[in-house]
C-alpha cells in the first residue's frame, strides 16, 4: 500500500501542470476575446469602472484574493521555499560602454621654439623614445646669434674683470697713500710701506706735492728762529709762510680730487663688470628658455664649433612613443607649427558617459576601482581608478563624463578601443527587498505569495523599485518579516490559475 501523502503528490503534480497549461492558454488568448485586462500596476488600487465585473473579479481588482492551500508535505517536490522579507542595502552594479583614450597628462605636442631649417631627423613614426633623447635638429639663425653674442660677452667680461682687478688694486693703494699723507707720515715710511704696490700716475703726483709741502714747512721752521734777531727781513718770513699755506692747500685739494677719482674709477669698473655679467645671464637665460642646458653653454668656441653653434636640438619631454610625425629633412619649421606628438602609453584614460539616473551614486565613485573588459582580449580583465565623475550634464545626451586612469604596462589597451566597464558595487541605504525569484506577474500586475499560516498562501500585489541581479526593492504591498515564497512560486501560480479557471 502506498501512503496517502505519496498518492496525493502523484495526483496533484499532473493536475498542477494541466492547470498551468490551461491558465497560460487563457492568459494568452484573453486579449483576442474582447475581454478587458487589468491595467499595469502603479502601486495604487485601480478604480472599478466596469459595472459588468463579477464579484470575484471585483475582489481581485481590489487586491482581495482567495487563499491558496498547499500542504507542507508537497513543498519539497514542488521546490517551494519560504523566507522572511528583509530590510537591507541593495547593492547596485552598473555596466557601461567606454572608450580607451590617450592620457592627456602624458601627451606632448612638440613645436620648435625657433624658426629655422631642419638639418637632422633622428626619429621615425612609432619609435619609443626616452626623456631628453634628441628628436630633430634645426639650423637657427636666432640660436647662432645668441651663441656668438654669449661668446663675445664672455670675452668682454674676462677683459673687464682683469681691468677691474687692476683698478681696484690701484684704488686701494692710492687710498692707503692718501691716508698716510694725511697722517703726516715721512717719505721714508711711505716708501717702505708702498714701494711694491701699483698706483700708476697717482704716486708721482701725490709724492711731488707732499714733498713740496714738507719742504715749504721745513723752510719756514728754519727761518722762524731767525726772525727775532733781525738776521732776515720780515718779508722773507711772510713769503715762507705763504709758501707753506699754498703747498698745504694744493696738497689738500689734490688729495680730495685723487680720492674722489679713485673711488669713482673703482665704482665704474665694478659697474662695468656687473653690467656684463647681467648681459651674459640674460643671454644664457634666453638660450635656456629655448631648451639648452648649462652643459650646452659651458664651452662655446666659434673656431671649433663653426655652424654647429646655430644647431637647435628638439628633445623628448618624457619617455613615450612618437604617435605623429610631420617633419622632413631640410624643411622650414617654426614655433607656430607642430612637428611631432609624443605620448606616454604606459597609462591610458578610460572615458565613459554616465546617465543622469546614476547621479546619486557619483559621489561614491571618486577614487574607486572599476573593471574593464574588451573583445580583443577575451578572458582578460583590466582595472582602472576613477579620478573624474563629471560636473556638467551634456544637453544632447543627458549624460556626464567619467574618466578613469588605467595602467597599460603591457600595452594591451589601445587608444580608440571600446571596452565594457563594470562599476563597483555601491551599497545604498537599507530598503525592503525580496529575491527576484519571488516576483510573479499576471495580467500586467506584479505580486508575491505570502504565507498566512501553515500550508496557506495568498497573492499580494506589490510595487517594485530599484533592482539588481539578485533582488528587487518593494516600495509597497508587503512589510518586513512577512513570509514570502522565494522559490517554487510556479506551483502556487498554477493553483491560482486553476481556481480562476474554475470560477
Task: Identify the CATH number of the domain in which residue 451 sits.
Answer: 2.40.420.20
If asked whether residues 154 and 255 sit together in one domain, one would say yes
- Does residue 331 lie in a domain region? no
**How many C-beta atoms lie closer than 10 Å to residue 478's C-beta?**
20
Domain boundary among 287, 319, 340: 287
If asked whether residues 206 and 79 sit together in one domain, one would say no
If asked whether residues 159 and 69 sit together in one domain, one would say no
pLDDT of residue 186: 92
- Does residue 256 lie in a domain region? yes
Q: Give me the number of domains the chain comprises.
A: 2
The Cα 418–Cα 139 span in angstroms is 43
- Does residue 474 lie in a domain region? yes
- Does residue 446 lie in a domain region? yes
The Cα 108–Cα 474 span in angstroms is 53
Query: What's the burial of 306, exposed, middle or buried (CB within 10 Å: 0-12/13-18/19+)?
Result: exposed
- Does residue 307 lie in a domain region? no
Q: How many residues does the chain have?
A: 503
Centroid of chain to Cα 314: 25
Say which residues have a Cβ less than 8 Å from residue 120's Cβ, sequence separation at least 6. 136, 137, 329
If asked whether residues 157 and 276 sit together in one domain, one would say yes
The Cα 197–Cα 173 span in angstroms is 7
pLDDT of residue 425: 67
The Cα 193–Cα 121 span in angstroms is 68
pLDDT of residue 428: 61
If asked whether residues 10 and 76 sit together in one domain, one would say yes
Domain boundaries, position 65: 4-91+429-502
C-alpha cell at 270: 665694478
- Does residue 240 lie in a domain region? yes
Q: Which residues of the chain have pLDDT under 50?
A: 1-54
What CATH number has the domain bearing residue 225? 1.10.287
pLDDT of residue 27: 40
If asked whether residues 276 and 183 sit together in one domain, one would say yes
Q: What angle do CA 55, 60, 65 make, to 5 degrees?
A: 105
If asked whether residues 86 and 196 sit together in one domain, one would say no
C-alpha cell at 121: 631627423
- Does residue 76 lie in a domain region? yes
C-alpha cell at 480: 518586513
The Cα 447–Cα 459 span in angstroms is 7
The Cα 325–Cα 110 span in angstroms is 10
If asked whether residues 283 and 174 sit together in one domain, one would say yes
Say which residues have a Cβ less than 8 Å from residue 452's Cβ, sequence separation at least 6. 67, 458
Percent of the chain predicted with pLDDT > 90: 63
**For the chain, what is the radius of gyration of the CA atoms?**
52
The Cα 129–Cα 322 span in angstroms is 8
Domain boundary among 268, 287, 306: 287
If asked whether residues 185 and 266 sit together in one domain, one would say yes
- Does residue 473 lie in a domain region? yes
Query: What's the burial of 11, exposed, middle or buried (CB within 10 Å: 0-12/13-18/19+)?
Result: exposed
Domain boundary among 287, 318, 349: 287
The Cα 433–Cα 436 span in angstroms is 9
Amino acid at each position: 500500500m502506498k501512503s496517502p501523502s505519496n498518492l496525493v503528490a502523484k495526483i496533484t503534480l499532473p493536475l498542477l501542470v494541466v492547470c498551468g497549461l490551461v491558465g497560460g492558454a487563457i492568459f494568452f488568448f484573453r486579449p483576442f476575446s474582447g475581454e478587458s485586462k487589468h491595467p499595469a500596476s502603479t502601486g495604487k488600487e485601480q478604480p472599478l469602472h466596469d459595472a459588468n465585473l463579477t464579484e470575484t473579479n471585483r475582489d481581485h481588482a481590489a487586491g482581495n484574493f482567495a487563499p491558496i492551500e498547499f500542504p507542507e508535505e508537497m513543498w519539497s517536490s514542488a521546490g517551494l521555499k519560504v523566507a522572511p522579507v528583509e530590510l537591507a542595502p541593495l547593492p547596485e552594479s552598473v555596466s557601461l560602454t567606454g572608450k580607451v583614450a590617450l592620457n592627456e597628462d602624458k601627451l606632448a605636442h612638440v613645436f620648435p621654439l625657433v624658426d629655422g631649417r631642419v638639418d637632422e631627423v633622428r626619429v621615425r613614426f612609432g619609435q619609443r623614445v626616452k626623456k631628453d633623447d634628441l628628436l630633430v635638429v634645426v639650423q637657427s639663425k636666432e640660436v647662432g646669434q645668441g651663441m656668438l653674442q654669449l661668446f663675445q660677452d664672455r670675452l668682454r667680461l674676462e677683459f673687464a674683470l682683469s681691468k677691474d682687478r687692476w683698478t681696484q688694486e690701484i684704488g686701494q693703494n692710492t687710498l692707503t697713500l692718501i691716508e698716510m699723507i694725511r697722517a703726516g707720515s715721512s717719505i721714508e715710511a711711505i716708501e717702505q710701506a708702498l714701494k711694491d704696490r701699483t698706483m700708476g700716475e697717482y704716486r708721482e703726483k701725490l709724492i711731488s706735492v707732499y714733498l713740496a709741502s714738507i719742504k715749504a714747512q721745513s723752510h719756514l721752521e728754519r727761518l722762524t728762529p731767525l726772525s727775532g734777531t733781525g738776521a732776515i727781513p720780515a718779508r722773507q718770513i711772510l713769503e715762507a709762510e705763504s709758501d707753506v699755506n699754498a703747498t698745504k692747500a694744493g696738497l689738500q685739494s689734490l688729495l680730495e680730487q685723487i680720492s674722489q677719482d679713485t673711488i669713482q674709477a673703482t665704482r665704474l669698473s665694478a659697474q662695468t663688470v656687473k653690467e656684463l655679467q647681467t648681459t651674459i645671464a640674460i643671454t644664457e637665460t634666453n638660450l635656456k628658455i629655448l631648451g639648452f642646458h648649462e652643459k650646452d653653454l659651458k664651452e662655446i668656441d666659434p673656431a671649433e664649433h663653426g655652424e654647429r653653434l646655430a644647431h637647435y636640438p628638439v628633445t623628448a619631454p618624457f619617455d613615450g612613443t612618437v604617435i605623429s610625425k610631420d617633419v622632413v629633412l631640410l624643411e622650414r619649421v617654426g614655433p607656430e607649427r607642430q612637428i611631432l606628438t609624443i605620448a606616454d602609453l604606459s597609462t591610458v584614460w578610460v572615458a565613459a558617459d554616465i546617465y543622469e539616473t546614476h547621479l546619486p551614486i557619483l559621489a561614491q565613485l571618486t577614487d574607486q576601482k572599476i573593471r574593464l573588459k574588451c573583445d580583443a582580449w577575451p578572458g582578460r580583465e583590466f582595472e582602472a581608478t576613477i579620478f573624474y565623475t563629471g560636473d556638467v550634464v551634456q544637453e544632447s545626451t543627458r549624460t556626464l563624463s567619467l574618466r578613469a586612469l588605467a595602467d597599460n604596462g603591457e600595452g594591451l589597451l589601445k587608444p580608440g578601443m571600446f571596452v565594457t566597464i563594470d562599476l563597483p558595487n555601491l551599497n545604498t541605504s537599507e530598503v525592503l527587498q525580496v529575491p527576484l525569484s519571488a516576483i510573479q506577474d499576471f495580467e500586467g500586475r506584479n505580486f508575491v505569495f505570502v504565507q498566512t499560516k501553515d500550508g496557506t498562501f495568498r497573492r499580494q500585489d506589490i510595487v517594485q523599485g530599484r533592482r539588481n541581479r539578485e533582488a528587487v526593492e518593494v516600495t509597497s504591498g508587503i512589510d518586513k518579516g512577512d513570509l514570502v515564497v522565494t522559490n517554487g512560486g510556479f506551483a502556487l501560480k498554477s493553483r491560482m490559475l486553476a481556481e480562476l479557471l474554475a470560477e
